[in-house]
Structure 1
Amino acid sequence: MAEYYIGEIISLLFMAFALGMDAFSVSLGMGMQQLRLKRIAIIGLAIGLFHIMMPFIGILLGKFISEGIGDFATIAGGVLLLGIGAQMIINAFIQDTKQLIEPVGFGLLVVALTVSLDSFSVGLGLGMSGAKTALAIMMFGAASTILTWTGLLLGRKVRGFLGVYSEILGGSILCGFGINILMM
């Protein structure tokens, strides 16, 4: 029984890292704007908060859906994770490098919402598969906050080549979890 919980925690940790990689890649670009440390802290906290709210809503909705459709919900959750991962990989290659929105005020909310939309879908899949809600959302929020801060700080030093690779890595991890759920 303890092995099951350790396995679930490790799976959620990898998933949190994969979701945070999207925030990391976006924050690399924002970090190249030479933001002040206070702004970096605010951006990281905002993205982390959205990575808590969005999957929480998704998990609640996923649990509601799974009660009505049973085993099909697990398959749908696996397909959803696989699709999100594939989308992240594809977007890494067709990404536009222009910064359209400044991470201040309403622009910060738009950036945080946009970066965390994939975590809503993952939360939906997790809710269908019966994951631990509090543990999942706290891991998602912490990982995305830390990875956002890391990306913003590294963005000051690095000039863009890590962004594509981090999104590919995150997408690959989500694809792997989707395939794992489908194989069960």
Structure 2
Amino acid sequence: MAEIFGELLTIGLMAFALGMDAFSIGLGMGMFKLRLRQIVKIGLTVGLFHVLMPMLGIITGRFLSDKFGEIAAYIGGGLLILLGIQMVLSSFKKEENSLISPVGFGLLLFAVSVSLDSFSVGLSLGIFGAKTAVVLTMFGAAAAILTWVGLFIGRKVQGWLGSYSVTLGGAILLAFGIKLLFM
């Protein structure tokens, strides 16, 4: 029972970490003064992409695991470490707010951009044999909820929390990558 709880906690924290990108970008997009219907659509779209991208990663990771065995486990941990470092470093860069409008093609571009890192995490989880349905459900739900929260808060605080949320997400992924490699 403790093992199942530990795995759910780990996956939940990873889902939270991955959703922090969507949250931070949602903060900026919240300044567009979106209608409630648009906010719901944006959150659902981001959640869907946070299901599709890690699913592709898990499938690829399982294939690699079957073919390359133990070496693939080190690759998976290394990917999480690199992704965590990249997220932390990107949070310190000064970037202009996105000019992408969160409708039509702009919404798809937004959803893909915030879910690309979930492909890499899915790849790592596929290598380690994580439970696919649990992972995808938690990733999608966390991304949708954090996107909605970001959009609503963005309307109020004008984005001052954004870089800190990406730093937190990167630190969580970095820690899990280290844990997978050394424990």
Q: What is the TM-score of this pair, normalised by structure 1?
A: 0.97
1:82 matched to which residue of 2? 81
- Deviations along 1:104-129, whole A, 9 cap, x unmatched? 00110010001000000100010011
The alignment status of 1:180 with 2:173, answered yes or no, reads no
Report the alpha carbon displacement of residue 95 of structure 1 after superposing the two structures with TM: 4.4
| Cα 1:128/1:107, change in 2 over 3 Å | same
- Deviations along 1:64-120, whole A, 9 cap, x unmatched? 011011011111111100111111111111141232210100110010001000000
1:26 matched to which residue of 2? 25
2:59 matched to which residue of 1? 60
What is the alpha-carbon distance in structure 1 between the residues aligned to residue 30 and residue 160 of structure 2? 13
The alignment status of 1:134 with 2:172, answered yes or no, reads no
What is the alpha-carbon distance in structure 1 between the residues aligned to residue 96 and residue 145 of structure 2? 22
1:72 matched to which residue of 2? 71
1:123 matched to which residue of 2? 122
Percent identity among equivalent residues?
A: 56
Q: Which amino acid aligns with 2:145?
A: I
RMSD: 0.8
2:102 matched to which residue of 1? 103
What is the alpha-carbon distance in structure 1 between the residues aligned to residue 34 and residue 55 of structure 2? 30
2:159 matched to which residue of 1? 160
Q: Which amino acid aligns with 1:6?
A: F
**What secondary structure is seen at the aligned counterpart in 2 of 1:6?**
helix
Q: What is the TM-score of this pair, normalised by structure 2?
A: 0.98
Report the alpha carbon displacement of residue 60 of structure 1 after superposing the two structures with TM: 0.5
Number of residues of Structure 1 aligned to a counterpart in Structure 2: 183
Report the alpha carbon displacement of residue 3 of structure 1 after superposing the two structures with TM: 1.6
What is the alpha-carbon distance in structure 2 between the residues aligned to residue 130 and residue 95 of structure 1? 37
